Amino acid sequence: MGSVIQARGLSKRYDTHQAVDNVDLTVEEGAFFGILGPNGAGKTTLLEIIEGIRKPDSGSASIAGLDVWPRNTNLLPRIGVQFQATAFFPKLTAAEQIRTFADLYGAPYERCEALLEQFGLTEKANTGTEELSGGQAQRLSIACSLVHDPQVVFLDEPTAALDPQARRNLWDTLRGINAEGRTVVLTTHYMDEAQTLCDEVAIMDNGRILTVDTPRALIAGIDAPHKITVNTGGIAYDDARRLPGVISVEESTDALTMVTDDPAPVLIALADRRALDGVAVVGATLEDVFLELTGREYRA
């Protein structure tokens, strides 16, 4: 499979703010690709340029070999877009909403019914969109973006503000979209989401792409310690500090956590002391990579 999205030298400036700064990006066909970054990093602007919604100041982008700007109506049947903020036509039911999108694209109503079932919305078909829960509204929004069977789907923070159960359920839905052969491009603030779903991620800050790789490769490339946690009572705090390889120890009411660069000797020592009750070993995560690259200061 070749690349389906190509971006070269994309830049966009708003007054004194450089939202996108000379960005190059390639996304392979059939990939689940994540764009990560702090607030104001330029993720949404970059997505809007690639989608053909916003004109770049310089550079070019193409999808499936077609230039996205000037606005290319030939691309509309090929892409589906779910925006950061969900907005529906007022006073329509879920079924009427998706059928309206079908009418716009000339898609058959049979596809609407299939998507409502796929996204677990059949029982809500006759419910007004203003009465849907946050998770249901997000699923309907994504279903509407798929009604014309697009090749590439853009999802801008699709799980924002969802509760953990709704977020995990939507993950299954997004995996299904990708498993059907579509290319999925996702922006998210949730590092566990990107680590779980994405084949490849780009980390962005101050309008620039800092790095692009698989989550596994990015995690393997940083020097982050492991944390070994056991239940409180298995080993005393002072004893834990003296174990071979332990850098520091953190204690809470029900757990004791040892930080180490080499977990093997620590685990052996805990086993010798029969102190492995509730043991959990956590290595570096994509969040560690993100913080190492973008810093820890507050963003607006």
**Same-domain pairing of 215 and 246:** no
- Taking only the tens of pLDDT, the chain with its 300 residues reads 689 999 999 999 999 999 999 999 999 999 999 999 998 999 999 999 999 999 999 999 999 999 999 999 999 999 999 987 778 999 999 999 999 999 999 999 999 999 999 999 999 999 999 999 988 998 999 999 999 999 999 999 998 878 888 889 889 989 999 999 999 999 998 999 999 999 999 999 999 999 999 999 999 898 889 999 999 999 999 999 999 999 999 999 999 999 999 999 999 999 999 999 999 999 989 999 999 999 866 555
Spell out the residues 6+ positions from residue 216 whose beta carbon is closer than 8 angstroms to its own.
none
Is residue 77 located within the same domain as residue 154?
yes
> Do 90 and 195 share a structural domain?
yes
Going by the DSSP 8-state scheme, the letter that residue 224 receives in this structure is -
Do 133 and 15 share a domain, yes or no?
A: yes
Q: 158 with 174: CB under 8 angstroms?
A: yes
Same domain, 171 and 136: yes
Query: Looking at the structure, do residues 96 and 230 belong to the same domain, yes or no?
Result: no
Instruction: Using the structure block, give the residue that is written with the tokens 């004109």.
Output: 55
182, 203, 220 - which closes a domain? 220
The answer to whether residue 112 sits within a structural domain is yes
pLDDT of residue 1: 63
Quick check: is 298 in a domain? Answer: no
Instruction: Specify the pLDDT at position 300.
Output: 54
Residue 33 lies in a domain: yes
Burial 238-273 (b: 16+ CB within 10 A, else e): eebeebebbeebeeeeeebbbbbeebeebbebbeee
From CA 9, how far away is CA 50, in angstroms rounded? Answer: 12
Strand-pair partners of 280: 229
Q: What are the strands of the beta sheet with 66-67, ordered from one edge? A: 17-28, 3-14, 58-63, 66-67
Task: Give the CATH number of the domain where residue 80 resides.
Answer: 3.40.50.300
276: which DSSP letter?
-
Q: How many residues does the chain have?
A: 300
Q: pTM for this one?
A: 0.86
In a domain, 89, yes or no: yes
Q: Tell me: do 131 and 51 sit in the same domain.
A: yes
Token readout for 91 is 């006073």
Radius of gyration of the chain (CA): 23
Residues 266 and 118 in one domain: no
Q: Based on the domain organization, do 54 and 176 belong to the same domain?
A: yes
DSSP calls for 86-100: ----TT-BHHHHHHH
Same domain, residue pair 163 and 239: no
- Helical H runs in the chain? 43-50, 94-105, 109-118, 134-146, 164-179, 191-197, 215-220, 237-241, 263-272, 286-294
Which CATH number fits the domain that encloses residue 254? 3.30.70
Predicted local distance difference test score (pLDDT) of residue 181: 94
Residue 290 lies in a domain: no
Task: Please check whether residue 297 lies inside any domain of the structure.
Answer: no
Distance CA 63, CA 29 (A): 10
**Interval 251-268: pLDDT, tens:** 999 999 999 999 999 999
Residue 292 lies in a domain: no
The answer to whether 86 and 64 are in contact (CB under 8 A) is: no
* Residues 58, 176 within the same domain: yes
* Cβ pair 261, 247 in contact under 8 A: yes
Q: Which is nearest to 12 in space by CA: 49, 62, 39? A: 49
Task: Indicate the residue among 200, 220, 240 that finishes a domain.
Answer: 220
Residues 134 and 256 in one domain: no
- Could you give the CA distance from residue 145 to residue 37 in angstroms, rounded to a whole number? 24
């043991």: which residue's tokens? 279
Q: Residue 263's domain spans which residues? A: 226-283
Number of domains the chain is built from: 2
For residues 252 and 246, the answer to whether their CB atoms sit within 8 Å is: no
Domain membership flag for residue 189: yes
